[in-house]
Structure 1
Amino acid sequence: MKTFSSYMLLLAALLSSRVTSAQEQVLKNTILVQVGTKNHGNVYTSTNLQQALVQQRAQHPDKNLSVVFTEPGTYYFDTTLVITSTLANGEGHILFSKLHPEDKVTLSGGRPIQVKWSLWKNGIYKATLDLPYTFDQLYINDELQIRARYPNYDSSARHYNGSAADALSPERIKTWRHPEGGYVHALHKGEWGGYHYRIKGVNSDYTLQLEGGYQNNRQMGMHAQHRFVENIFEELDTVREWYYDQPHKTLYYKPAPGTRLSSARVVISRLPTVIALKGTAESPVRNVEITGLRFAHTAPTFMDTREPLLRSDWTIYRGGTVLLDGTENCSIKACEFDHNGGNAVFVSNYNRHAQISGCHIHDAGGSGICFVGNPDAVRSPLFEYNQSQPLASIDTVPGPKTSHYPDSCTAYDNLIYRTGTIEKQTAGVQLSMAMNITVSHNTIYDVPRAGINVSEGTWGGHEIAYNDVFNTVLETGDHGAFNSWGRDRYWHPNRQTMDSLVAAHPWLIRLDAIHTIRLHDNRFRCDHGWDIDLDDGSSNYHIYNNVCLNGGLKLREGFYRTVENNVILNNSFHPHVWFANSHDVFRHNLVTAAYKPIGIKYWGDEIDYNCFPDSAAMPPLTDKHSLAGSPGFVNPLGGDYRVIPSSPALRTGFRNFPMDNFGVVSPQLRRLAKKAPLPVLAQQHLLSSATTNWSGAGIKNIETLGERSAAGLPDNNGVYVVSVPAGFRYRLQAGDVILKAGTTPVHNVAALLEITTRGNSWPVHLTIFRNQQQLVI
């Protein structure tokens, strides 16, 4: 099948009257649908676009349809554009693209509004805005503003950018005249995601009447501390906050200094979905490609997140900025999803060979990319953690019951960060009730929960490889950079019941987890949980060639996990409450601390041939053939954790694997992506001399050829940064080398201390060497 990406240059040539005869032959089977901004006012009527597509398909059933946005700018859709199987019937492709690669074309789920501002009081402006509906997001000059809230927005606060126990105190509630329509957002009591509530009224004791709280599938109530309220008029008290008084048709806003409201572009969120591909297993949408477009301004969906994902901790909203539901061979390529209120891309129900690749997904209220099947494909489904069923009622046929799930789909080369800005039970990439999904070469970071999550064992076969996942579980707890559950049909919340069930009927274990999940050649980091967390019965995994930078690797319960040839830094292996006859294997791994078992009576099939940092870390009951000693990393300061030829790890069967294949591969995405923070404590042990305390930061001289090589320096001049405390006055990172303080060269630690203590005056700038580049900070 010839993809439509190859047609883009031909389309540009055709529209500019520079088409060759060969190009004309290629394009003769293509009908162009040109869309421009100039003739449509502020709101583009997507209804008309849909009608045009219906008309062209009726007239040209065997032609390709190419929707080309011919002018740069923003196209505000008035309704969701729905592509049905009638429009995409397999006899011709549909392409959505922009005309020129350099154009920036935005498809918006928002609505631009024209308002006349007048000063109200306390720096707050107001404007009349007559709308039949309320809205949840306001953009000023394409920047998302903050709905009036308590506590106020704080970019440095870990939870919700500001949370407080007294957000729901009677004393505070007494100050609100009409809080109806406000919202309460709170973490789960166990920090397992979050809850959202709409305020319906106030009781006589000044507690709130709330609607919601169904967004988490493990009902335990809201966290006592981590909560905030928003959309409360009386809390509008700082810059960038806004409030819409719908009964009185008035918008209030407190601009930041320097904002020119008279010329500001104002947009409000409206549609949760911009484009929906809607087919069925029997009549799928085929061969649609969306490429090179930016999607923005879609509405939050946190109050619609209520469908439970079997017995996982999740509930979902089955939708996103772009929805694929009942498709074959459809793709989203090189698109940007920027500040949307819910999920970015949702692949729902029956889908085959869907591909999301080369996309830049950031600042999403929900998840990045979701592959989620339909529960009608699951045999003997249950929908809450504490539910169970007797053996006699379990359907014992292996595998799925229907075809209503994603299979053979791909998420490749996507840059995903700052997802879950509103909802906290989210992931960069989410898999549930799916089979044979490839998640590879993605870079995922700055997320409140997992970077990659697998909700249950149905039905495995996934390949999760070459991803770079870090800065994870930033707002929640008891989770991992990679997380999975395995609460499949055999699983029971009572451990004793489950022990006897699987002992008597071990064939139950792989009725759902029918294909092995391969987790390999990834780099993971979690500072608030585990780097790799296989929880609650996760089964049938092969985990190899991964680098765990901080949180270690955990296997709880479950069966048939083979873990081999992984590097686990600053941590170790966490086996939790294993079954008898689990058939688990842990071998040929390099760990840097003693094992951390919890509730272990049985040790699986093989726990041996691993490398430990010293003899004190060696376990007494396992690892009869394991060795201890310094691993001898090639370049730990540069993130190369291959080992040198004399390393004891190689004598245990460990084999080096590449350390430079993690994350996105597109040059433009690699330029944008953050770098994973490398472990500091492991580096400290490898340095040749003691560090010096520099106002809380650890620094040292550069003394050896190895240290010079790790930093990429031409000589020994400079000061190596070993560690940096939170809130340090310079934006340094461990591994930086300080070359100048102000304009004065810094050759060693003594010179830096003399400069920065002289007259109690610190230089404004430092010149540093980072990632083999000289920077000024």
Structure 2
Amino acid sequence: MNIKLLVCAILFTGFVFQAKAADFYISPSGNDKNPGTFKLPFATIERAKKEIVRIGGEEAITFYLRGGTYYLPQTLVFTAQHSGTLGKPVTFSAYKNEVPVISGGARLRLQWTAYKQGIFKAKVPAGLQSDQLFVNGKRQHMARYPDFDLKAQYYNGFAADAFSKERAAGWNDPVGGYIHAMHKAMWGDYHYLITGKDSSGNVVYTGGWQNNRQMGMDPERRYVENIFEELDAPCEWYLDRQKNELYFYPEKGLELKTALIETVRLKHLVELNGNEQHPVKFLQFKGITFLHSARSFMENKEPLLRSDWTIYRGGMFLINGAEDCGITNCILDQAGGNAIFVNNYNRRIKITGCHIDKAGSSGVAFVGDPKAVRNPLFEYNQVQELSAMDKEAGPKTANYPANCLVEDCLIHESGRVEKQTAGVQIEMAQQITVRHCSIYDVPRAGINIGSGAWGGHLIEWNDVFNTVMETGDHGSFNSWGRDRFWRPNRKEVDSWVKERPELPFLEAVKTVIIRNNRWRCDHGWDIDLDDGSTNYLIQNNICLNGGLKNREGYNRVVENNIMVNNSFHPHVWYQNSNDIFKRNIVFTPYKPIGMPKVWGKQIDSNFHHQPGQKTVAAHELQQQTGQDQHSLSGNALFVDPEIGDYRVRENSPALKTGFKNFPMTGFGVVSPALKKLARTPVFPRSIPLSKTPGRSSAISGWLGSSVRNILGQGEMSAYGLAGEAGVLVLDVPHGSPIVKSGILKDDVIVSVNSKTVKDIDELAKIPAPRNGVYKVEVIRNQKSIFFEVKP
């Protein structure tokens, strides 16, 4: 090519890709009649939106927000007309080191007068509606019973008599109050709006739709709020909407006259509202603080397929129908519901460097449209007949999030109001990456993948701990796979998959990779692959406490992980599951429940860490699996477990199994600002846990059958029980009263003649009924069934 032509081509190419740029400024002290310059800034983002439309994508646009608080009169809604383009994005950014705050609330300037007993009151604007109150930036508590207790495990305070008739007798008019109660099996919680009292003085309420597996309220873990008569402790408040009066009990030392008082009005602060045909594109938010969104627990109604979840499709930041948009280095604080909700069709959404703190619900949620799922089912016990099943793999439409990223984010203390939540939730989505996040102090999972997910997700380099703090039967990482092939009856699934081996992969079309993470769960499993979870590669994870559980599913490869003070928990696998467990280090023997004779495809080349023992074949593991022919037992020789370094030394016998060291640093957030804020987990002592006294494992007899107590959270989970209670039926001999009644082996007896049966001692004490018939309630396939047993 002629050199002059080449130079011209280069110059022309540079000219074409040199984007024009337009800068504007916004300030709380500005004016929307201004031109938006540094000296004459706009006052609102609504005004800025007009400039985006005017410029029409011809230039890259940056709106610099000056420091101060922007109280939104209404939700900021961006549509396709507010899009940028490749190389010419639209960006809203904090100006230099200033702190712009976008608030969904309002500031109140009040005249306080003393009311009584340390309580003050003030007139508020007529029609004020707020479900939260902030004083000097700190969230206060609606008047509640019992009082807020930071140390209480559940709800920061709970009581069995929270809304008892006796307690309610002291309430003049509880209409508008709320009941919050844990799910009976501790799978999330319920919420109710009090509508009054009946003629007998009992509290009347509506709600309870916030969990997709209805079992009723826990009888003890519950509290009430927004009850005027319960205003009796510092930091409590009550808004009388009839009299337009705000009552507040300030904490000691607070100068109420000069305090910043803020309420909440908006559920959503920002919405990106597009769709697949007309998406919002190349819109970025950088360095901005988002505060104060209203709670959404009473609108949390939509069931998420056959998971335990229901959801509210919204949040402080709602992204709906967008491409190549991002939230970078932002703070999302005190969201009343979800902090960020990525809804339905979205592609290449990036959430990076963000700090998400004290959200009422989940931190970040990616949830698609159930209409994108083939044969969607919406309740645990619903099933799809094989003959009527759509046999095509993958999603039906494109209306779901895909190719999105959550990276270098600090997410903690989420689930402040709602407990069936996660730091990051993924459902009906594909190829979501969660990388270098620190997630902790949450009531349920740190990261959860629900049913109807089409796989391809990458979970790596995260630091997740202090999880399952207020619920049960869960893990720091949790998943379900109750896809179209799945049924509560495993034998039915076995027969289906034998006929059609492709069934488990119609949804799980791409492998989910979980690698190089650090997990710690003190109230469940570190990694919990629950019902039907299929097509996973779990590699190079350090599990610090709860071990790793694989319930029934297909094609799970678990390799080169370390399970400190715990082990592998295989639960009720399918025949021919094709699972692999190899080159892992465990601290105790495996903990199987209800396993078939042959465990998957390969269980081998693992190392059983036993300090003080010479290296020998892992006989105990071999006896459990009938495999593990190349597995060893002995001292793994860790480098420095006291500081969390579980690499093994060069002379470690674990290396003979094929185990390979992987990095013990680099977990969690990486940006310096977030690293300064982020906590890290407590490292356990690197010794096997000692056996502690617990429920008796003795086998007893009852009406011709052999029974024993349910033992441990593993069996509690495997049989779908509300707690470590009940009696397991071990056999049903031919001709016994039990077998004649229809009760089967592995049923769990939980009540007899309406009396709860916690253990074999209680079962033995139940007297023979006068009519000679025992009415027995058992749990089978996680569902209650009643039988009549005639001795």
Scaled to the shorter chain, the TM-score interval is 0.7 to 0.9
Indicate yes or no: 2:320 matched with 1:311. Answer: no
Cα distance change on mapping 1:177 and 1:351 into 2, 3 Å: same
Cα deviations across residues 681-709 of structure 1 (Å, max 9, x unaligned)?
A: 53999xxxxxxxxxxxxxxxxxxxxxxxx
- Name the SS for the 1:409 alignment partner: strand
Residue of structure 2 aligned with 1:438, choices 408, 433, 436: 433
CA displacement at 1:294 relative to structure 2? 0.6
Show the counterpart of 2:80. 85
Q: CA RMSD in A?
A: 2.0
Show the counterpart of 1:461. 456
Show the counterpart of 1:144. 139
Judge which range, 536-545 or 24-33, deviates more.
24-33
Confirm or deny: 8 A CA contact 1:366 1:419 kept in the other structure: yes
Tell me, in whole angstroms, the C-alpha distance in 1 between the residues paired with 2:128 and 2:249.
22
- Name the SS for the 1:225 alignment partner: strand
Residue of structure 2 aligned with 1:610, choices 586, 606, 610: 606
Amino acid at match of 1:146: H
Residue of structure 2 aligned with 1:99, choices 76, 95, 107: 95
Confirm or deny: 8 A CA contact 1:47 1:78 kept in the other structure: no
CA displacement at 1:273 relative to structure 2? 1.1
- Name the SS for the 1:649 alignment partner: helix
Indicate yes or no: 2:490 matched with 1:495. Answer: yes
Confirm or deny: 8 A CA contact 2:586 2:608 kept in the other structure: yes
Show the counterpart of 2:757. none
Indicate yes or no: 2:60 matched with 1:58. Answer: no
Confirm or deny: 8 A CA contact 2:127 2:244 kept in the other structure: no
- Name the SS for the 1:503 alignment partner: helix
Show the counterpart of 1:653. 658
Residue of structure 2 aligned with 1:159, choices 154, 163, 168: 154
- Name the SS for the 1:332 alignment partner: strand
Pairing 1:345-360 to 2, within 5 Å after superposition: 345-360=340-355
CA displacement at 1:647 relative to structure 2? 1.5
- Name the SS for the 1:489 alignment partner: coil
Pairing 1:266-415 to 2, within 5 Å after superposition: 266-415=261-410
Show the counterpart of 1:747. none
TM-score, structure 1 normalization? 0.82
- Name the SS for the 2:365 alignment partner: strand
Show the counterpart of 2:25. 34
CA displacement at 1:207 relative to structure 2? 2.3
Amino acid at match of 2:513: R
Tell me, in whole angstroms, the C-alpha distance in 2 between the residues paired with 1:653 and 1:52.
60
CA displacement at 1:506 relative to structure 2? 1.6
Tell me, in whole angstroms, the C-alpha distance in 2 between the residues paired with 1:216 and 1:480.
18
Amino acid at match of 1:502: V
Cα distance change on mapping 1:571 and 1:546 into 2, 3 Å: same
CA displacement at 1:634 relative to structure 2? 0.5
Amino acid at match of 1:395: D
Tell me, in whole angstroms, the C-alpha distance in 1 between the residues paired with 2:472 and 2:19.
57
CA displacement at 1:618 relative to structure 2? 2.8
Cα distance change on mapping 1:88 and 1:240 into 2, 3 Å: same
Show the counterpart of 2:683. 678
Cα deviations across residues 291-345 of structure 1 (Å, max 9, x unaligned)?
A: 0011111111111111111111111111111111111110100001111111111
Indicate yes or no: 2:471 matched with 1:476. Answer: yes
CA displacement at 1:617 relative to structure 2? 4.3
Show the counterpart of 1:260. 255
CA displacement at 1:613 relative to structure 2? 2.5
TM-score, structure 2 normalization? 0.81
- Name the SS for the 2:82 alignment partner: coil
Confirm or deny: 8 A CA contact 1:112 1:268 kept in the other structure: yes
Tell me, in whole angstroms, the C-alpha distance in 1 between the residues paired with 2:507 and 2:85.
32
Indicate yes or no: 2:410 matched with 1:419. Answer: no
Cα deviations across residues 43-75 of structure 1 (Å, max 9, x unaligned)?
A: xx99963354235423544123322212x1111
Show the counterpart of 2:237. 242
Residue of structure 1 aligned with 2:502, choices 491, 502, 507: 507
Tell me, in whole angstroms, the C-alpha distance in 2 between the residues paired with 1:343 and 1:572.
34
CA displacement at 1:89 relative to structure 2? 5.6
Cα deviations across residues 254-279 of structure 1 (Å, max 9, x unaligned)?
A: 10111111111110011111111111
Any stretches of 5+ residues in structure 1 without a counterpart? 1-23, 686-777
Show the counterpart of 1:210. 205
- Name the SS for the 1:277 alignment partner: strand
Cα distance change on mapping 1:220 and 1:119 into 2, 3 Å: same
Cα distance change on mapping 1:237 and 1:82 into 2, 3 Å: same
Indicate yes or no: 2:527 matched with 1:532. Answer: yes
Tell me, in whole angstroms, the C-alpha distance in 1 between the residues paired with 2:213 and 2:654.
42
- Name the SS for the 1:310 alignment partner: coil
CA displacement at 1:206 relative to structure 2? 2.7
Confirm or deny: 8 A CA contact 1:46 1:77 kept in the other structure: no
Show the counterpart of 2:784. none
Residue of structure 2 aligned with 1:668, choices 666, 669, 673: 673
- Name the SS for the 2:502 alignment partner: helix
CA displacement at 1:497 relative to structure 2? 2.3
Amino acid at match of 1:547: I
Cα distance change on mapping 1:658 and 1:48 into 2, 3 Å: closer
Amino acid at match of 2:636: P
Confirm or deny: 8 A CA contact 2:425 2:448 kept in the other structure: yes
Confirm or deny: 8 A CA contact 1:547 1:566 kept in the other structure: yes
Confirm or deny: 8 A CA contact 2:408 2:437 kept in the other structure: yes
Show the counterpart of 1:575. 570
Any stretches of 5+ residues in structure 2 without a counterpart? 1-14, 33-40, 611-617, 691-791
Confirm or deny: 8 A CA contact 1:432 1:454 kept in the other structure: yes
CA displacement at 1:503 relative to structure 2? 2.2
Confirm or deny: 8 A CA contact 1:46 1:80 kept in the other structure: no
CA displacement at 1:596 relative to structure 2? 0.3
Identity %: 50
Tell me, in whole angstroms, the C-alpha distance in 1 between the residues paired with 2:289 and 2:591.
46
Tell me, in whole angstroms, the C-alpha distance in 1 between the residues paired with 2:453 and 2:335.
29
- Name the SS for the 1:408 alignment partner: strand
Indicate yes or no: 2:195 matched with 1:200. Answer: yes
Number of residue pairs the alignment of both structures matches? 657
Tell me, in whole angstroms, the C-alpha distance in 1 between the residues paired with 2:327 and 2:531.
34
Tell me, in whole angstroms, the C-alpha distance in 1 between the residues paired with 2:570 and 2:19.
62
Show the counterpart of 1:634. 639
Confirm or deny: 8 A CA contact 1:109 1:297 kept in the other structure: yes
Tell me, in whole angstroms, the C-alpha distance in 1 between the residues paired with 2:55 and 2:404.
32
Cα deviations across residues 142-164 of structure 1 (Å, max 9, x unaligned)?
A: 11111100010000000000011
Amino acid at match of 1:644: R
CA displacement at 1:134 relative to structure 2? 2.4
Tell me, in whole angstroms, the C-alpha distance in 2 between the residues paired with 1:595 and 1:389.
34
Show the counterpart of 1:625. 630
Cα distance change on mapping 1:613 and 1:59 into 2, 3 Å: closer
Cα distance change on mapping 1:216 and 1:46 into 2, 3 Å: farther
Cα distance change on mapping 1:378 and 1:215 into 2, 3 Å: same
CA displacement at 1:496 relative to structure 2? 2.9
- Name the SS for the 1:599 alignment partner: coil
Confirm or deny: 8 A CA contact 1:457 1:538 kept in the other structure: no
Judge which range, 56-65 or 645-654, deviates more.
56-65
Amino acid at match of 1:512: E
Indicate yes or no: 2:555 matched with 1:560. Answer: yes
Tell me, in whole angstroms, the C-alpha distance in 1 between the residues paired with 2:29 and 2:153.
44
